[in-house]
Structure 1
Amino acid sequence: MNADILQVLGGIGLFLFGMQTMTEALRQLAGQRARALLTRFTTTPLTGAITGTLTTAAIQSSSATTVTVVGFVGAGLLTFPQAVGIIFGANIGTTVTGWMVMLLGFKLKIGLAALPLLFAGSLTRVLARGNWARAGQALAGFALVFVGLEMMQAGMAGFQGQVTPADFPPDTLLGRFEMLLLGAVITAITQSSSAGVASTLVLLGAGTISFTQAAALVIGMDIGTTVTALLATVGGSRAMRQTGLAHVAYNVVTGVVAFFLLGLIALPLRDGLMGGDNQAGLVAFHTLFNLVGVVLMLPLANPFARLVERLVPERPGPLSEALDQRLLADPGAAIDAARSCAGAISATLFAALGEALRPGAHPVALQAAVEKTEPALLDLRDYLARIVVPVDQTRPLRRYSALLHQYDHLHRLQHRCRQPERLGPVLADASLRRPALLLGAILRRPPHDDDGARLLRLYRLRRATASRMVRLRRRALSRKAGGTGESARIFALTDAMRWLDRTAAHVYSVARYDALAAQENPEELRIEE
């Protein structure tokens, strides 16, 4: 008996480790394509649900999909209502694991055949590099899933006849609720609904629990998986807290609906469509009630999103709020978070600088912006240093490089904003006044207000200012060389020229590198005139 228990526990451990190993490799392999799929096709909650289903099925992890979505919302690439659709679809996508386990693990019984796959995958992981190594890791994880599943089955065989459905709560409304709670607790402990569903299929196959007891367990596991999302949101950004709450609310609503329809749907589904096959019927029921939940919730997606936004309102916080440490596990999501923070810093500096470049303006707001952005820049620098992008992932590396350049120019722009004494000479001199006022007008435009046109205006201003400053500086210095004018005034004027020239350059570079970091496959940015 003790040996059987150890075998079951070992099987669960191998299954969990295999799922984690496979998921991590698949996320790295398909991560860039998944991100492109999510941003390109998620225009409505319906398309979000479809892309969420496909993405989760591809990378075998609803948690990884959710983390990516959090990064997108925080970076402004997706609205929260669009993200809600992806959350709905992720629940359907995660049921693919159940089908894989049922068809390959129980019908084809590939546990023994998985051993050479484990050898091949592990060897490839050790000897290969780049995507081949990740493919080997995914294969090894896939094999471990079925090795663990076979161990669970072998261990449970020792309990046949000793543990029966009578040892569990009876098939009554209260008994089903108790099984639901048990399923939620199991998933909260293992942090994996996939392992819970696989274990339930093993118990069902061994005759240890009845079909309705198994169905109630699976409903509970769907609810229990939200504990992971809920814990991940504690102390997180607003986008993460909203996503976590939406995930919890949706799974609870779906679970309640499935619980009360269990007797009406589960048994007819097993006996009719699945020909009395308990395990196939259970997996079909798991998929069906998630589908029903999506169908019921999609028409309410926008009101549901507004409700969540009211429950988790936007509150004043630090500019670096988006820099959630838990996103560092996914380089793409971490880059999105860093870009969101850089955007908040640049918006603060741009707005204050735009107000300062008005006739008669007082630089108090500019000084306040410098003080506000100082800690955020330090947080951004530290966060960027902690992002680790694999060297062979060229697209994320380009985005990361663009962010490093953007941070450098933000830091330099903040230094220029610490020199309010330059504003007087800039606005007082007739040759500098016009480009300075034009720069201020561009910067006072709201963030994301036709960013392409704004970048083009900054490009034209930067080019015009650079050539004009060269001419004006030569003219000013030549007057001094000729003995005319006062030296102090001439030097003050050339300092003002240099300040305006460098400020315009840094503003343009910040906007340009932000545009590059926003692209999934950044290339050299071409400014069309």
Structure 2
Amino acid sequence: MNSDIFLLVGGVGMFLMGMDVMTRALKDIAGSNLRGILARFTTTPLRGVLTGAAATALIQSSSATTVMTVGFVGAGLMSLPQALGIIYGANIGTTATGWLVSLLGFKLQLETVAMVTLLPASLINLLGRGGLARAGQVVAGLCLLLIGLELMQNAMAGATGLLRPEALPQGGLWGMLALAVAGLALTVLIQSSSATVALALVMLQGGSINLMQAAALVVGMNIGTTFTALLASVGGARVMRQAAVANLAFNVITSTIAFPLLLVLGPGLERLAAATGPLTALLMFHTGFNLAGTTLFLPMTGRFTALVARLVPARDEGGLALGLDRALLSDARAALTAARGASALLATRMFAALSAALQDQPDYRRLSALEPEMAKAIDELAQFLANLRLPADLPAEEEVYSALLHEADHLRRLLHRAGQKDRIQSLVEDRILRRPAVLMGGILARAASESGRYLESDRLARLETLIRHRTGRHRRGLLLGEHAGLYTLTEVFAHTDAMRWLQRVVHHTERIGYYDRTALRGLQQEAPPAA
């Protein structure tokens, strides 16, 4: 019996290792395509469902999809209703692993093939480069998964004399609830719903549990898989916590609905098992109640979003919660995409405040509200970028990273200029400099209102030339006026400083727009093909 326990533990460990290796390789292969799909092709909750299901089936990990989605919501790259669609779909997509395990591990019985294939796949992984190495990782991970599955099957075959369905809670609400709690706890402990579903399939195949007990375990496992996303949202922005709570609520409500259905439809499930086999029946139940939950929630996404907003109410976040989740640092392109979204928010706030001040009747209230939250937010962005480690040989990512660092620096310098309100007052009072100052205010207003940063580079360049020309003439006129007694020396210095201030504001604004466009071009490039 002791050897069976060791065999079972080792089998679960090998299954987890195989799943992790395969998932990481599939994520690398999907790369920017997956991130682009998640961020761009979720314009409606229904499209989010399809996207989430396909992405999860592709990378074989609902936790990875959900955590990535929570991070994108925190970064402002998608709204909560869009994220809910992906969350619904991820719960459907995660059932693909069970079907894969059932087909390859139980029906085709490819364990011997996996043993033979593991060595060449590992060699390809070790000796290959780029896409070839990743393909070797996928095959090696699948081999480990199948070998671990066989170890679990052998262990359960030796334990059938001791572990029987009669030794576990039987039918009825409380018995099913106890099994669901056991499935939940096991999934939280192992941190892989795929491994726990595979274990339930092995136990069902070996006769250690019956179909109804296996179904109750799977219901609990469906709730346990939300734990990873909850952890990822800790310390994040409010919308990140909302996404994680929505994921938990969706799974809890779906599982709660599945319980009475399981009790009522139990005889029908048994008849289905007699016709198709217990494994297929269990997987159809698992897929079915996730489809039913999605069908129920999808039309009510708007109301569900409002409910989640009440469950996770707003708290004071200084108005500048960037949502730069540290979990995104493991994925360079996703982290860079989030950082660009954060810099867009900061630039929009600063441009709006400056545009309100650069008017014939200046309004300084927004400028006064920028500090100290804006400085802290820029520090947060800079620290996030400092913690990011880029993979080697990715020039597009390096260009984006450099552009965002420069952009953060110009944001900091522009914030310093924004605090010099006396310069603005001097500009507005100067009849020669008032027009270019108000013109700059209009450009900043458009940049703040149209998709974050619509900056007219040509107009900025012409404005900078105009200001430089006027500044040169105006400085000479001021100095002559001071000699003639028309201006005091203090007035000359004040207006000269105001001219220099406007020149620097135009320069920093133009640089922010330039580096933003550079970052955007780099992010829009597909990942280079693997060598």
Same fold (TM over 0.5): yes
Distance in 2, Cα, partners of 1:269 & 1:277:
10
Distance in 1, Cα, partners of 2:74 & 2:510:
23
Shift of 1:266: 5.5
The answer to whether the 8 A contact 2:15-2:195 is kept is yes
Shift of 1:480: 8.2
Q: Which residue of 1 aligns with 2:358?
A: 357
Q: Which residue of 1 aligns with 2:418?
A: 417
Matches within 5 A, 1:99-114: 99-114=99-114
Distance in 2, Cα, partners of 1:401 & 1:284:
50
Distance in 2, Cα, partners of 1:398 & 1:111:
46
Distance in 1, Cα, partners of 2:388 & 2:66:
19
Q: Alpha carbons of 1:65 and 1:399: their partners in 2 closer, same or farther (altered >3 Å)?
A: farther
Distance in 2, Cα, partners of 1:375 & 1:117:
53
| Match 1:502 to one of 501, 504, 507 | 504
Mapped pair 1:462 → 2:435? no
Distance in 2, Cα, partners of 1:61 & 1:394:
29
Q: Which segment is superposed worse, 47-56 or 105-114?
A: 105-114
- The code of the aligned residue for 1:338 comes to A
Distance in 2, Cα, partners of 1:480 & 1:329:
57
Shift of 1:232: 2.9
Secondary structure in structure 1 of the residue aligned to 2:436: helix
- The code of the aligned residue for 1:288 comes to G
Q: Alpha carbons of 1:516 and 1:287: their partners in 2 closer, same or farther (altered >3 Å)?
A: farther
Distance in 2, Cα, partners of 1:72 & 1:220:
27
Q: Which residue of 2 aligns with 1:328?
A: 329
Q: Which segment is superposed worse, 78-87 or 483-492?
A: 483-492
Q: Which residue of 1 aligns with 2:19?
A: 19
Between Structure 1 and Structure 2, how many residues are aligned?
520
Q: Which residue of 2 aligns with 1:68?
A: 68
Secondary structure in structure 2 of the residue aligned to 1:113: helix
Shift of 1:342: 2.2
Distance in 1, Cα, partners of 2:514 & 2:271:
61
Distance in 2, Cα, partners of 1:179 & 1:303:
32
Matches within 5 A, 1:510-521: 510-514=512-516, 517=519, 521=523
Shift of 1:370: 3.8
- The code of the aligned residue for 2:141 comes to G
Q: Which residue of 1 aligns with 2:387?
A: 386
Shift of 1:512: 4.8
Q: Which residue of 2 aligns with 1:126?
A: 126
Q: Which residue of 1 aligns with 2:529?
A: none
Q: Which residue of 2 aligns with 1:185?
A: 185
Shift of 1:360: 5.5
Q: Alpha carbons of 1:226 and 1:365: their partners in 2 closer, same or farther (altered >3 Å)?
A: closer
Distance in 1, Cα, partners of 2:117 & 2:236:
40
Secondary structure in structure 2 of the residue aligned to 1:275: helix
Q: Alpha carbons of 1:471 and 1:446: their partners in 2 closer, same or farther (altered >3 Å)?
A: closer
Q: Which segment is superposed worse, 355-364 or 281-290?
A: 355-364
- The code of the aligned residue for 2:468 comes to V
Deviations 1:339-397 (A, max 9, x none): 34323332332233223323464757535524322222222111111122323455555
Matches within 5 A, 1:189-204: 189-204=189-204
- The code of the aligned residue for 2:385 comes to L
Distance in 2, Cα, partners of 1:490 & 1:381:
38
Q: Alpha carbons of 1:351 and 1:480: their partners in 2 closer, same or farther (altered >3 Å)?
A: closer
- The code of the aligned residue for 2:457 comes to Y
Q: Alpha carbons of 1:365 and 1:300: their partners in 2 closer, same or farther (altered >3 Å)?
A: closer
Distance in 2, Cα, partners of 1:234 & 1:400:
26
Q: Which residue of 1 aligns with 2:377?
A: 376
The answer to whether the 8 A contact 1:439-1:461 is kept is no
Matches within 5 A, 1:424-463: 424-444=425-445, 447=448, 449-451=449-451, 455-456=454-455, 458-463=456-461
Distance in 2, Cα, partners of 1:401 & 1:259:
53
Deviations 1:239-287 (A, max 9, x none): 2211111111111111111111114446535634872411121112111
- The code of the aligned residue for 1:245 comes to V
Distance in 2, Cα, partners of 1:181 & 1:219:
9
Mapped pair 1:80 → 2:52? no
Deviations 1:417-461 (A, max 9, x none): 2433422332233332112112224434694x3238x624x4243
Distance in 1, Cα, partners of 2:444 & 2:67:
33
Q: Which residue of 2 aligns with 1:234?
A: 234
- The code of the aligned residue for 1:230 comes to L
Shift of 1:469: 2.5
- The code of the aligned residue for 2:454 comes to L
The answer to whether the 8 A contact 2:273-2:279 is kept is no
Distance in 1, Cα, partners of 2:28 & 2:52:
17
Shift of 1:408: 2.1
Distance in 1, Cα, partners of 2:216 & 2:423:
71
Distance in 2, Cα, partners of 1:482 & 1:446:
38
Matches within 5 A, 1:5-16: 5-16=5-16
The answer to whether the 8 A contact 1:349-1:370 is kept is no
The answer to whether the 8 A contact 2:237-2:321 is kept is no
Secondary structure in structure 1 of the residue aligned to 2:21: helix
